[in-house]
């Protein structure tokens, strides 16, 4: 009998491996399972009353429901960020001709900043079925494909955020159009032949040329695989204004509390000149009671002041004069879990 069971066991293992191996390209949670979206808030090293390691982070997805302190460190190969990016690194998926990928950052790993590109950082990985768009604020991240997952020391000192959303293939056609406004610096990418007819602009960006612009900014609704709505705002450097005050707050019709990295002297003050107001957050608090000053927080996000408006955006640009002249974008969500997590994180802001 035993000799007949052995082949059955082998078949089961092979089937299991096949099912796992075939799993779709997705954002991955802390346990490596596919999720619709997740957000990471990497804590700054210097907090009020304590000094951290610079690699601890808070994790949020719809199943978590509220911020969870991760048991992992962001610079190890465990945790949501590494689980997600390892879909590119492991098995040399970056060499595949059945998926598209792009790593972009105005500050590429081991290279100087190039200011002619958009002030934007992120990763795309998808096939003809689906994939993810990870938008983040970490300088010189992520590592070159052949190096495997690495987190740079330049990303440790300050707070950082990352938003990952899983989308069907069709949504990447819209995402590519949004990226044209922003003009990201693609430092490693591949748009294989099977995708070039659908994504001519992404191919151009990948080849290092800039597709022509028909406007200086654009808005697009994007739907995650589970049907959650996200709204992408993207501006080119030709729209010379503060993205929060001059555009996004007015379009959303909401007064915004804004956390961005503001360096001395060049910051834009809280602004109540236009119908919808933009007010700078100065201090953030995350559970259980981790408080830190905006000065140590390189993340870029905003949240509606009023609970009725229930909108949060994460993105690329700081409220400083010089960044009015840069390409960049925001990805907004009306998800109540995301809203509560960020609205409660506002500890102190400057009213007009």
Ligand X SMILES: *[C@@H]1O[C@H](CO)[C@@H](O)[C@H](O)[C@H]1NC(C)=O
CA–CA dist 321, 118 (Å, integer): 15
Residue 191 or 225 having the CB closest to ligand X: 191
Residue 34 contacts residue 19 (beta carbons within 8 Å) = no
324: closest CA among 256, 276, 265, 266? 266
* Minimal distance, residue 244 CB to ligand X, in Å: 8
Active-site residue (options: 136, 140, 277, 298):
298
Judged by phi (left if over 0) then psi (alpha if -120 to 50, else beta), residue 54 lies in: left
For 348, other C-beta atoms within 10 Å of its C-beta total 13
* Minimal distance, residue 338 CB to ligand X, in Å: 26
* Minimal distance, residue 56 CB to ligand X, in Å: 9
Burial class (CB in 10 A: 0-12, 13-18, 19+), 19: exposed
Residue 298 appears among annotated catalytic residues: yes
Q: What are phi and psi of 330, to 5 degrees?
A: -135, 145
CA–CA dist 175, 68 (Å, integer): 29
* Minimal distance, residue 245 CB to ligand X, in Å: 4
CA–CA dist 199, 191 (Å, integer): 8
Residue 32 or 152 having the CB closest to ligand X: 152
Which residues share a beta bridge with 312?
Answer: 303, 333
Residue 16 contacts residue 9 (beta carbons within 8 Å) = no
Sign of CA dihedral 149, 87, 141, 43: negative
* Minimal distance, residue 190 CB to ligand X, in Å: 8
**Contact residues for ligand X, defined by CB under 6 A:** 53-55, 73, 75-76, 94, 97, 144-146, 156, 187-188, 193-194, 241-242, 245-246, 271, 273-274
Residue 144 or 169 having the CB closest to ligand X: 144
Residue 40 contacts residue 161 (beta carbons within 8 Å) = yes
134: closest CA among 98, 195, 201, 86? 86
Residue 72 or 230 having the CB closest to ligand X: 72
Residue 105 or 188 having the CB closest to ligand X: 188
Residue 15 or 352 having the CB closest to ligand X: 352
DSSP 246: I
* Minimal distance, residue 224 CB to ligand X, in Å: 28
Would you name the residues annotated as active-site residues? 298
């Amino acid at each position: 009998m035993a000799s007949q069971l052995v082949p059955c066991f082998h078949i089961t293992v092979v089937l299991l491996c096949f099912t796992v191996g075939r799993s779709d390209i997705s954002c991955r949670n802390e346990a490596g399972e596919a999720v619709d979206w997740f957000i990471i808030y990497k804590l700054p090293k210097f907090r009020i009353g304590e000094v951290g390691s610079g690699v601890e982070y808070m994790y949020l997805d719809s199943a978590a429901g509220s911020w969870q302190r991760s048991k992992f460190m962001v610079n190890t190969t465990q945790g949501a960020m590494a689980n997600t990016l390892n879909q590119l690194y492991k098995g040399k998926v970056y060499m595949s001709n059945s998926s598209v990928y792009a790593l972009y950052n105005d500050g590429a790993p081991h290279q100087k900043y190039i200011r002619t590109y958009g002030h934007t950082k992120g990763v795309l990985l998808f096939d003809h079925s689906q994939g993810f768009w990870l938008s983040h604020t970490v300088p010189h991240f992520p590592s070159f494909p052949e190096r495997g997952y690495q987190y740079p020391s330049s990303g440790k000192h300050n707070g950082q955020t990352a938003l990952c959303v899983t989308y069907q293939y069709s949504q990447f056609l819209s995402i590519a159009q949004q990226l044209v406004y922003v003009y990201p610096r693609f430092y490693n990418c591949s748009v294989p032949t099977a995708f070039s007819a659908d994504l001519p602009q992404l191919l151009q960006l990948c080849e290092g040329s800039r597709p022509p612009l028909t406007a200086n900014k654009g808005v697009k609704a994007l739907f995650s695989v589970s049907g959650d709505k996200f709204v992408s705002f993207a501006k080119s450097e030709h729209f010379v204004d503060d993205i929060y005050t001059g555009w996004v707050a007015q379009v959303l019709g909401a007064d915004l509390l804004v956390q961005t990295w503001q360096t001395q002297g060049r910051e834009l003050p809280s602004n109540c000149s236009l119908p919808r107001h933009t007010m700078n957050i100065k201090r953030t608090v995350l559970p259980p009671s981790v408080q830190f000053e905006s000065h140590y927080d390189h993340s870029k996000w905003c949240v509606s002041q009023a609970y009725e408006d229930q909108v949060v955006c994460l993105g690329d640009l700081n409220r400083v004069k010089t960044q009015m002249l840069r390409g960049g974008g925001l990805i907004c969500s009306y998800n109540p879990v995301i809203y509560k997590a960020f609205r409660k994180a506002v500890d102190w802001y400057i009213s007009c």
